[in-house]
């Protein structure tokens, strides 16, 4: 027996089998117990419940949804809401973050002070506290009756924010969003694969053609999707106790957008600052020597170099920020996580729903990092120039 233990090969195999086996055993116990508990409650396991209707309402939805819709539909609504929130908050966080990061590296004492205060204040307070803070402030805005719209078209009320919108169907808006995404993807692909080999004028011409096609197609899509017998642009109007027409942004969505973009911006600002600090001074000095303006030195030299340096860190940050959108449940914003948790309460199909939640986040997060890694590949310096 002792000789068996001393044989490293046998010992290694045994150790590995024991480790993997114990983890598998743990999962087996989970599944068996859950089955037993389900049967005790008179429920059946499996994904059949997805076809049943939910019977509860969802306050904010991008697609058609009613209480008689199925669980599958409710989960889809949740996923779309999460993606929608991420699609607004993440770019916004990037813009604010880069601005603050630039302020902190500008060399101007006052701008640095403001930037530093912003970062330290918003990075060191929990996100959920910031979210509740903004939500309370938004709810405390005056009621629709007492308010005079800004520029006659924007109204900040305690019931939501009203802005002008287009009278088009949701489907055509979705098509337009897809078109813009496709245009961006195509131009990124061309930027890394095709345009470097072309002459500058040729590349510029191709870019113009690409975006003109996208614009024309988008306009056509909007024209087809027009809701008949309404003006093209709908402007919020006071009617009785509330506003009609236009687009209403609910306080929940607005609070989530503000909180996540500001919290994310504080982190992104730090990353961007590190990137700017890593750009060698020689680059700026060379730009000065060539007589470039300050704006050109910033936009053509320092910013692209800094973004290239910090891109891998930024990718992790986006994945992390997207996970942070689940915080919306604190103020009942119906995102993916909230739909799942409500479904668990209502249907009792715990294991299946947790599996959907985990699978969903794995897919979304891997997609975000895959797409951004392709962006990274497209913009990073190519082999022969790698001198940073």
Partner 1 sequence: MADVIQPPKDSFQSRIKARYFATRRDTVITVVFAALVAWVLWSLIDWALLNATFAPNAGDICREDLHGGACWSVVSTRWRIVLFGLYPFEEQWRSAIACAVMVAVAVLSCVPWFWSAKRLAPLWVVGFAVFYILMRGGFFGLTEVTEQNWGGLSLTIFIFSGTSLLGMPLAIIFALLRRSKLPWIARTMALVIDTIRSLPLLSIMFTFAIVLPFVLPDGLTGDKLYRVIIGYALFFACYQAEIIRGGMQALPAGQEEAAKALGLGYWHRIGYIVLPQAFRNALPPTINQFVITVKETSLVTIIGFFDVMASGRAASGTAEWNFAVIEMYVFVGLIFLVFVFSLSRYGAYLERRLGVGKR
Q: Give residues in contact with partner 1 (CB under 8 A).
A: 12, 15-17, 19-20, 23, 29-31, 33-34, 37, 106-111, 113-114, 120-121, 123-129, 132-133, 136-137, 140, 294, 319, 323-324, 326-327, 329-330, 337, 341, 344, 350-351, 354, 357-358, 361-362, 365-366
- Minimal distance, residue 289 CB to partner 1, in Å: 18
Token reading at 237: 């109007």
Which residue number, 303 or 324, has a Cβ lying nearer to partner 1? 324
Residue 372: which residues within 8 A CB-CB, separation 6 or more? Answer: 311, 314, 315, 318
CA-CA distances (angstroms) from residue 25 to 21, 131, 323, 351? 6, 41, 29, 17
Residue with tokens 């692209």: 304
State the minimum distance, in angstroms, from the CB of residue 129 to partner 1.
Answer: 6
For residue 10, what are the CA distances in angstroms to 3, 17, 24, 76? Answer: 10, 11, 21, 50
Q: Could you tell me the smallest distance in angstroms from the CB atom of residue 177 to partner 1? A: 25
Q: Residue 385 CB, nearest distance to partner 1 (Å)?
A: 25
Helices (H), the chain: 2-6, 8-40, 71-104, 109-123, 127-139, 170-193, 200-224, 251-278, 281-289, 294-296, 303-324, 336-347, 350-379
| Helix 71-104, helix 251-278: angle, nearest 10 | 40
Query: At its nearest, how many Å lie between partner 1 and the CB of residue 12?
Result: 5
Dig out the tokens for 337 from the structure. 């996580």
Which residue lies nearer to partner 1 by CB, 19 or 223? 19
Report the residue number, 230 or 294, with the smaller CB distance to partner 1.
294
CA–centroid distance for 146 within its chain: 34
Nearer to partner 1 by Cβ, of 72 and 132: the residue is 132
Helix (H, G, I), strand (E, B) or coil at 19: helix
Tally of residues, the chain: 388
Q: Considering the complex, state which of residue 12 and residue 285 has its C-beta at the smaller distance from partner 1.
A: 12
CB of 153 to partner 1, least distance (A): 27
* Minimum CB distance to partner 1 smaller for 15 or for 184: 15
Nearest approach in angstroms of CB 132 to partner 1 is 6
Helix (H, G, I), strand (E, B) or coil at 302: helix
What secondary structure does DSSP assign to 376-388, as a single string?
A: HHHHSPPGGG---
Kindly tell me which of 20 and 232 has the beta carbon lying closer to partner 1: 20
- Least distance (Å) between residue 28 CB and partner 1: 11
- The Cα 95–Cα 264 span in angstroms is 10
Q: Are 116 and 104 in contact (CB under 8 A)?
A: yes
Nearer to partner 1, 330 or 375 (CB): 330
With respect to partner 1, which residue has the nearer C-beta, 129 or 224? Answer: 129
DSSP code of residue 233: E
Supply the minimum distance, in Å, between the C-beta of residue 281 and partner 1: 16
Supply the minimum distance, in Å, between the C-beta of residue 235 and partner 1: 32
d(CA 8, CA 14): 10
242-244 and 247-249: which strand pairing?
unpaired
**Separation of alpha carbons 242 and 159, rounded Å:** 9
Residue closer to partner 1 by CB (options 4, 140) is 140
């Amino acid at each position: 027996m002792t000789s068996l233990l001393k044989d490293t090969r046998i010992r290694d195999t045994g150790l590995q089998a024991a480790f993997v086996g114990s983890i598998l055993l743990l999962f087996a116990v989970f599944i068996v117990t859950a089955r037993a508990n389900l049967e005790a409650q008179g429920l059946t396991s499996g994904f059949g419940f997805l076809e049943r209707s939910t019977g509860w309402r969802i306050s904010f939805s991008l697609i058609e949804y009613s209480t008689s819709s199925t669980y599958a539909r409710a989960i889809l609504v949740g996923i779309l809401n999460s993606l929608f929130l991420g699609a607004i908050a993440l770019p916004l966080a990037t813009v604010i973050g880069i601005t603050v990061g630039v302020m902190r590296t500008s060399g101007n004492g006052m701008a640095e002070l403001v930037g530093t205060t912003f970062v330290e204040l918003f990075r060191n307070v929990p996100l959920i506290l910031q979210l509740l803070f903004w939500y309370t402030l938004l709810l405390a805005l005056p009621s629709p009756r007492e308010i005079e719209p800004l520029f006659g078209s924007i109204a900040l009320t305690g019931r939501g924010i009203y802005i002008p919108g287009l009278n088009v169907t949701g489907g055509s808006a979705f098509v337009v969003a897809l078109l813009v995404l496709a245009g961006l993807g195509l131009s990124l692909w061309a930027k890394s694969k095709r345009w470097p080999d072309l002459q500058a004028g040729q590349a510029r011409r191709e870019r113009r053609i690409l975006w003109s096609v996208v614009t024309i197609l988008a306009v056509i899509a909007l024209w087809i999707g027009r809701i008949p017998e309404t003006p093209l642009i709908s402007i919020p109007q006071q009617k009785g106790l509330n506003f009609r027409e236009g687009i209403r942004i609910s306080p929940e969505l607005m609070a989530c957008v503000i909180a996540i973009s500001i919290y994310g911006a504080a982190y992104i600002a730090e990353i961007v600052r590190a990137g700017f600090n890593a750009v060698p001074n020689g680059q700026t000095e060379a730009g000065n020597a060539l007589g470039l303006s300050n704006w050109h030195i910033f936009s053509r030299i320092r910013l692209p170099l800094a973004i290239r340096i910090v891109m891998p860190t930024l990718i992790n940050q986006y994945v992390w920020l997207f996970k942070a959108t689940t915080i919306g449940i604190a103020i009942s914003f119906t995102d993916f996580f909230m739909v799942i948790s409500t479904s668990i309460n209502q249907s009792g199909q715990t294991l299946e729903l947790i599996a959907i939640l985990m699978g969903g986040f794995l897919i979304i997060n891997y997609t975000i990092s895959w797409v951004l890694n392709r962006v990274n590949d497209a913009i990073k310096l190519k082999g022969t120039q790698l001198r940073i």
